[in-house]
Amino acid sequence: MPSIEDHERGIAPKQKKRGLNLTEGRQRQQPDEKPQNDREDFSDEIVLRTENLTAYYGKFKAIEGVTMAIPKNQITALIGPSGCGKSTIIRCFNRLNDLIEGFHIDGKVYYYGQDLYDKSIDPVAVRRRIGMVFQKPNPFPKSIYDNIAYGARVIGIKQDMDELVETSLRRAALWDEVKDKLKTNGVALSGGQQQRLCIARAISVNPDVVLMDEPCASLDPISTLKVEDLMRELKKEYSIVIVTHNMQQATRIADVTAFFNARETDQGGKQGYLVEFGATEKIFNEPTKKATKQYVTGQFG
C-alpha cells in the first residue's frame, strides 16, 4: 500500500489505495485494512459508512439516526424534499460542518473503517481525501491554470504542475475547450465550464471520494448532461456522492439512492431522517416504503 508520502508526491489516482492515514503528526493510527461492509448486496467494498448518525446545530437536531453505507466506485444519490438534511449529511462525510459554530454529532462516520470524528483525525486531511463540489460554481478569481495548481501547491504535491493541470482538466472533460487559454481567469468561463473547472480542481489533489451538492442546479440542460457524463466517467476512479432534487438525474446516473424525509419538530424546524436506501432501480420502481413511492412519483416534495 502506498504511504502518505506517496500521496503527497502526487501519486496517480489509479495507484491510490484506500484508507490512507488521516491523523496529525508522526503518531498516525493505521486504518482498518478492510472496510466494515454490511451491504454486500451493493458492493464488496464500502468507502463511507454511518452508524446511527445524529447531527445538531447547537441544540437543534437536524438529522436523526442515519445508518447507511456508501459503495466504492459507484454514484450514490441523496434525494428528498427541502429541509430533510441531505446537505448536512454530505458535509458530515468530510467534516465541513465543523466550520459551523455549535455543530456536533452523535453516532459514527467511518472512512474504510476509520472513525472520521476520532480526536486524532485531522479534518484538513479528511478534506484532501474526500473532496467537495458545491451547488454554485465557485472558481477562484485566478487563471484556469492556477485554479488547478493552487491546491496541489498548498499541500506540497511535487508532481510536474503542467502535467497535473492537463491531466485534471482532461479528467474533467474540459481540456480541449480551454487548453489554449489557460491564463484566462476562471470566472470568465461559462457556468457549465466553471463547474467542470471546480470538478477538475477537486480531483487535482487526488481524492478518493468526490461529494457533489446539487452540482447541476444552476446549469442549463446541455451543461447538465456534460456533468452527468463526466460523473459516469469519474466513478471508474472515484466514489461519488451527489445531492440532487432532480429525480430524472438520479435515475440516469445513480447506482444507489438514499431517500430522506423530514418531520416537523416542536421547535418549529424540520428534522431529517433516512427512509429508504437501496439500488436506484429498486428505489424508483419497487420501493418498500409508502413515503418513498409518494416522493418518487411526485405526490409531494
Q: 34-38, 127-131, 271-275: which range is least confident on average?
A: 34-38
DSSP state string for 65-92? EEEEEEETTSEEEEE-STTSSHHHHHHH
Lowest mean pLDDT segment, chosen from 10-24, 89-103, 153-167, 247-261? 10-24
Could you report the per-residue pLDDT of 200-226, keeping only the tens digit for each? Answer: 999 999 899 999 999 999 899 999 999
Estimate the crossing angle of helix 161-171 against helix 144-155, to 10 degrees. 120
Alpha-carbon distance of 59 to 125, in angstroms, equals 28
What are the domain boundaries of the chain? 4-296
* pLDDT above 80 (res 229): yes
Give 237-256 pLDDT, tens digit per residue: 999 999 999 999 999 999 99
Average pLDDT, the chain: 86
If residue 226 lies in a helix (H) or strand (E), which one and from where to where? Answer: helix 221-234
Work out the widest C-alpha separation in the chain, in whole angstroms: 57
C-alpha cell at 206: 487526488
Q: What is the pLDDT of residues 79-108, one digit of tens each?
A: 999 999 999 999 999 999 999 999 999 999
Residue 237: HSE in the Cβ half-sphere, 13 Å Cα cutoff: 16
- 300 compared with 278, residue with greater pLDDT: 278
pLDDT at 26 over 90: no
β-strand 256-264 against 75-79: which pairing, if any? parallel
77 residue type, one letter: A
Q: Look up the CATH number of domain 4-296.
A: 3.40.50.300
Over pLDDT 90: what percentage of the chain?
Answer: 75
pLDDT in the model for residue 170? 94
Compute CA 229 distance to the chain's CA centroid, rounded to the nearest angstrom. Answer: 17
pTM for the model stands at: 0.84
The string of pLDDT tens digits covering residues 255-269 is 999 999 999 888 778
Tens digits of residue pLDDT in 38-63? 434 334 589 999 999 999 999 999 99
18-40 mean pLDDT: 42
Helix count (H) and strand count (E) of the chain? 11, 10
What is the structure's pLDDT at 45? Answer: 82
Q: How confident is the model at residue 151 (pLDDT cuts 50, 70, 90)?
A: confident
For residue 28, what pLDDT band results from cuts at 50, 70 and 90?
very low
For residue 300, name the pLDDT band (cuts at 50, 70, 90).
confident
For residues 88 and 62, the answer to whether their CB atoms sit within 8 Å is yes
Q: Residue 41: what residue type? A: D
Ranges 12-26, 112-126, 136-150, 179-193: which has the least confidence: 12-26
**Cα 239 from Cα 4, distance rounded (Å):** 20
137, 149, 155 from 188: Cα distances, Å: 12, 18, 26
Question: Which residues touch 81 (CB under 8 Å, ≥6 apart)?
Answer: 261, 262, 295, 300, 301
CA distance linking residue 118 with residue 32, whole number of Å: 14
